[in-house]
A and B are shown apart, each in its own frame.
Chain A
Amino acid sequence: MIKLAKAFYRGFIGGPSFDNCTHYRFILEDKLLTLDMPSSNVAAVPSTIDVSFPYNSKSWFNQHKEDYFHHVYVHMLTKNWMYLPPVSYLPSSEYGMLSCQLRIKQTNKINALDAVQLKRFVIESYDDFHWGPDGRNTEIKKDTTLESSKMAVPFEPDELEEEILGRIETRGYPPLPAAKEVILNNRQWVFYQVKRNNSLSRQDFYCLPLSEHAFLEVEFNHRIDRSDKHKKWAKHALESQQRIMESIKLSDSPPEHDNLIADNSKSD
């Protein structure tokens, strides 16, 4: 009863609960990455997770990499938390889901240790992908130009530009706000957001340089299923995100943690 009253006061149930946290340790070559992550509240099969990540090794990266849109990365850890109504009388009432994913990225295009270069790189990789030969924005531009050429009264050049930008806003990938630097646990992270004007769902990314050609990326995916209820849990999700980020600590690894095979045989 008290739980229900509390849920009504908060306006939701679910989300990350820091009463039920798991402490994770990852070996990043000569460094130790630790963090506290609340358990998922989504029905998920327990998975084996690697604990060692030789982030400078190109062969290791190529062997384990995955890609999704402009992201090419090696997965480390994912957790999902649903936000739900305190009491609901209809199906599909989920408010939304917050996901957190840690991953390693490599690049030889920049010196990742330089925050200015890294800030530019993360935004440019998004633009380059969507404006690339097979990118969605390129396709929209091509289709709109073709459509205009077939119209009885084609768009004037400035109208065409406006139409392309308008369509990119609604069904393409509009420009991102500039990346910025944030300090967490005395370390400088690069922060950027992938968001759009016609949707409340967004992804927040934090990047921490590990070496000249590798960096750690933490993604927080805010999936909003009901716009009218987002206000209820937005603050909690943001506070949870901040708390998880503050728990991430990178320190020098103790010498006994140098056996990759032994480390990777451990499971969650």
Chain B
Amino acid sequence: MSWSKLNKTIDAHSVIPLDALSCRDFGVNLPANFPFNKAKFTCQALAMLSQLNDYDLKMVCADIIQICANPNATNSIKHSRNPLRRLWRTKYPFRNYHFLIRYTLEENNISITDILFDKQLEGAKNNFAAERTMLYEVKRQSSHTYDKAMNDDEIKKVQGAWERIPTPTTQIKTQHAAVNGMQNELTKAAWLMGTHLDRAYEGDGIKAYTLFHNPTDYTKLDLIECAFDKRSGTKSHNAQHLAAVLAQNNQQGKQVKWLAHSQGAIIFCAALEHYRIHYGKPLTGQQLAVHGSGSNVERLKRIAHSVGVKVVSVRNNPYDLVPNLADRSKISSSSLVRSLKFKGLVTDGSVGESPHTLPFLGLVTYAAQLQMLGNNEKADIVRKFIKTLPPTDARL
């Protein structure tokens, strides 16, 4: 026999005092330094907290602790003027997190009534440096996809195939998810990652996916972020956040097909390394496809294998300098020279020309695209290389 006694006096409005132990009954792990004597929660606020991953919860708690210390402050939205906060990529670059905490002040205590996304801080921004690392659900707008060399109208349509303005979400509710590369603001990342997912998981008929948006902080800081994630110490705040998302997926038994593009692969690798140290449990049901890898693929495969993530495919253009430089274990003088000859196209190329930005559709298509642009010399180089490959080579 089993039984449960319902406490009918508790509803969304009920205020619940918590302590370090009782908060766990509600599925919320608050930090040890949380001021339990000063802050109370409504059931509704607790329900929201229990939806958050560890990283979001840690950041929201930091904001609540700040409110407890300064309960009469009129506004807590303030950008830090400390330049080191931006430079030191393991630290969150903003003073406050992107959740709006609604509270009432009762004598010396605060009562947290609701926690929701802050409409002023979420989403795309005119100044990309103000965009936040967040999860967004991106829905498909049309069936257009980048699967061949295209005409002008099709190129325009591919860029409009996914929602331009995605909706923020606290959890991954889709079967597919992606992590974007460097210098991708939100609107660009939304369509570009949709395009990459279409190629990575062909035949899945993806209607929506979740974007783990790695916001750009302009060129130099994006590069510094890569360096932080490649070293063996504490990883960037992006990687820590992604590790918490992976842990939440694992806890909820969600099976997610991931895609990591360019710097996204570095962040994914760093997140797995962070996960192994701080969470440890095997990550079951997570698959990963890598495009234009900015990470050393062998290192990524090794860590993925050790935590139980399956790397299903790696799609790199042999003429893309980025994976050639990143994958130092496999680099040969011939592959480096080959990609260096095309360096100008990686950095200065355009849609359909750069071997890095859009998904790699095979060397035959790439040669055709180069010819379309009148770049016959480079097209000939690619065609000569194609002749040296066996007909079964996957890169064709």
Contacts and interface: CB of A to CB of B under 8 A. Distances in A.
B351 A80 contact: yes
A13 B353 CA distance: 15
Contact of B351 (A43, A90, A200, A228): A43
Given A46-B151, A171-B122, A91 B223 contact: no
Contact of B372 (A43, A94, A169, A221): A43
Contacts of B120: 166, 170
Given A44-B372, A91-B356, A227 B152 contact: no
B219 interface: yes
Contacts of B219: 90, 93
A91 B351 contact: no
Interface string A212-232: 000000000101011110000
A152 interface: yes
A199 interface: yes
Nearest to B148: A45
B221 to A, nearest CB: 12
B101 to A, nearest CB: 12
A202 B43 CA distance: 42
Nearest to B102: A153
A223 B127 CA distance: 15
Interface stretch (A81-89, A117-125, A181-189): A81-89
A226 B128 contact: yes
Contact of B155 (A42, A84, A90, A197): A42
Interface in B8-43: 12-13, 42-43
Given A13-B348, A152-B113, A199-B126, A166 B44 contact: no
Contacts of B369: 43
A171 B370 CA distance: 37
A251 interface: no
Given A91-B262, A92-B182, A170 B126 contact: no
Given A42-B152, A78-B152, A93 B347 contact: yes
A221 B160 CA distance: 11
A198 B124 CA distance: 6
B125 to A, nearest CB: 6
Interface stretch (B76-84, B163-171, B231-239, B383-391): B163-171
Interface in B103-160: 104, 113-114, 116, 119-120, 122-128, 141-142, 149-157, 159-160
Contact of A88 (B113, B122, B123, B347): B347
A92 B183 contact: yes
Contacts of B104: 153
Contacts of B119: 163, 166-167, 169-170
A236 interface: no
A199 to B, nearest CB: 5
Contact of B153 (A75, A169, A221): A75
Interface stretch (B184-192, B197-205, B240-248, B329-337): B184-192
Given A45-B149, A153-B114, A68 B354 contact: no
A147 interface: yes
B340 interface: no
A90 B152 contact: no
B351 A85 contact: no
A47 interface: yes
Interface in A36-79: 40-47, 68-69, 75, 78-79
Nearest to A69: B141
A169 B121 CA distance: 12
Contacts of A151: 12, 44, 102, 113-114, 116
A71 to B, nearest CB: 10
B151 A92 contact: no
B166 A171 contact: yes
Given A45-B150, A92-B184, A170-B119, A80 B155 contact: yes
Of A47, A90, A199, most buried by chain B (CB within 10 Å of CB) is A90
Interface string B275-289: 000000000000000
Nearest to B354: A91
B128 A228 contact: yes
A199 B165 CA distance: 10
B350 A92 contact: no
A99 interface: yes
A28 interface: no
A82 B347 contact: no
Interface in B346-396: 346-354, 356-357, 369-370, 372-373
A201 B187 contact: yes
Nearest to B183: A92
A169 B123 CA distance: 10
B266 interface: no
Nearest to B261: A92
Q: Which of B119, B156, B181 has the most CB of A within 10 A?
A: B156
A99 B157 CA distance: 11
A91 B316 CA distance: 14
A82 B155 CA distance: 12
Contacts of B149: 43-45
A91 B182 contact: yes
Interface string A90-116: 111110010101000000000000000
Given A88-B348, A94-B357, A199-B124, 11 more contacts: A14-B350, A44-B154, A45-B151, A80-B152, A91-B292, A93-B183, A152-B42, A153-B42, A171-B166, A198-B123, A198-B125
Interface of B: 12-13, 42-45, 102, 104, 113-114, 116, 119-120, 122-128, 141-142, 149-157, 159-160, 164-168, 181-185, 187-188, 218-219, 222-223, 262, 292, 322, 346-354, 356-357, 369-370, 372-373
28 contacts: A43-B369, A47-B152, A68-B141, A68-B157, A82-B351, A89-B347, A91-B346, A91-B347, A92-B182, A92-B184, A92-B262, A92-B357, A93-B183, A93-B219, A97-B351, A99-B152, A150-B44, A151-B113, A152-B45, A152-B114, A153-B13, A167-B119, A169-B119, A198-B125, A199-B125, A201-B164, A227-B126, A227-B128
